[in-house]
């Protein structure tokens, strides 16, 4: 079963624009994590937000968490062509369950 459902499934923007990806999850979580995957590669951890946190920043990334709505969002500001990748949310209590991802295309 998938924990997270990302929305949109695909997103295409111009360099310099902001990209927002949303994630809804089903069961209770201890934390929610976002990962990035370049085509044909393994995933790379971006940011972790605990269930008692509402917002977290890391460089150009901003993550929010609303446990009452079981949702999270990832904002990438001032996007670059190098941000082109798939982005996944993942959550759980012991093991992570991943969503199906958002494919982000940043046009130079």
Partner 1 sequence: DVKVTQSSRYLVKRTGEKVFLECVQDMDHENMFWYRQDPGLGLRLIYFSYDVKMKEKGDIPEGYSVSREKKERFSLILESASTNQTSMYLCASSLLGTSGRAPNEQFFGPGTRLTVL
Residues present in the chain in total = 108
Binding flag, residue 11, partner 1 (CB under 8 A): no
Q: Which is nearer to partner 1, 57 or 78 (CB)?
A: 57
Return the range that interacts with partner 1 (CB under 8 A); candidates 16-24, 30-38, 61-69, 70-78. Answer: 30-38
DSSP 82: G
Residue 86 CB, shortest distance to partner 1, in Å, is 9
**Tokens 């917002």 belong to residue:** 55
User: Residue 27 interacts with partner 1 (CB under 8 A)?
Assistant: no
In eight-state DSSP terms, residue 80 is: -
Q: Give the pair of three-digit tokens for residue 8.
A: 């949109």
Question: From the CB of 19, what's the least distance to partner 1, in Å?
Answer: 19
Give yes or no for residue 108 binding partner 1 (CB under 8 A). no
| Token couple for 94 | 């012991």
Binding site for partner 1 (CB under 8 A): 1-2, 30-31, 33, 35, 40-45, 48, 50, 88, 90-101
């Amino acid at each position: 079963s998938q924990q997270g459902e990302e929305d949109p499934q695909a997103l295409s923007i111009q360099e310099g624009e902001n990209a927002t990806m949303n994630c809804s999850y089903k069961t209770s979580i201890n934390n929610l994590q976002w990962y990035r995957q370049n085509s044909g590669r393994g995933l790379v951890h971006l940011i972790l937000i605990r269930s008692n946190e509402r917002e977290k920043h890391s460089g150009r990334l901003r993550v929010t968490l609303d446990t009452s709505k079981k949702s999270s969002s990832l904002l990438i500001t001032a996007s670059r062509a190098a941000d082109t990748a798939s982005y996944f949310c993942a959550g759980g209590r012991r093991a992570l369950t991943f969503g199906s991802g958002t494919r982000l295309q940043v046009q130079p």
